[in-house]
């Protein structure tokens, strides 16, 4: 498993990011992409006793240096979705399809959260 700084560096240098950035010249992500990124990343923290939204925002800031998924470029959103989403869906108890997270990315995200909070002196939030 990658360390948080290595995960951040890898995501920021992902080939898809380079291609997408070249094609779309840093174009902002769509609202649909932003919502999917927020949903996926927040789901990584299901079962946490503290605020999932705060955890997600701390990770977003650590990896992409933005405070909201709405501030991501299309390229960054694309790379984040490819990292977090397994590409599969599973039906929940309500009969609705939910995206399945990549288990390795969930573990990396939790390490990123620890590092992000440590950098901000907020380890008590865990």
Each of the 126 residues of the chain gets a pLDDT tens digit; together they read 778 877 777 777 766 656 666 556 678 899 999 999 999 999 998 877 667 778 889 999 999 999 999 999 988 898 899 999 999 999 989 999 999 999 999 999 989 999 998 888 876 555
Domain limits of the chain? 4-125
The Cβ of residue 2 has, within 10 Å, a number of other Cβ atoms equal to 15
39 in Cβ contact with 101 (< 8 Å):
no
Q: Where are the alpha helices (DSSP H) in 1-126?
A: 4-12, 15-24, 31-43, 52-64, 74-84, 103-119
Residue 33's pLDDT is: 95
**The predicted structure's pLDDT at residue 16:** 63
Radius of gyration for the chain, computed over Cα atoms and rounded to the nearest angstrom: 14
Tell me what pLDDT residue 72 has.
93
At 88, phi and psi to the nearest 5? -120, 160
């Amino acid at each position: 498993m990658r360390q948080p700084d290595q995960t951040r560096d890898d995501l920021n240098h992902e080939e898809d990011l380079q291609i997408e950035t070249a094609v779309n010249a840093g174009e902002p992500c769509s609202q649909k992409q932003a919502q999917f990124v927020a949903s996926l990343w927040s789901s990584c923290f299901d079962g946490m006793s503290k605020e999932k939204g705060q955890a997600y925002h701390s990770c977003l800031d650590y990896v992409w240096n933005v405070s909201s998924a709405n501030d991501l470029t299309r390229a960054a959103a694309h790379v984040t979705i490819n990292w977090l989403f397994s590409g599969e869906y599973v039906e929940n108890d309500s009969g609705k399809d939910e995206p399945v997270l990549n288990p390795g990315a969930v573990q990396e995200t939790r390490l990123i959260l620890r590092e992000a909070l440590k950098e901000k002196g907020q380890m008590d939030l865990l």
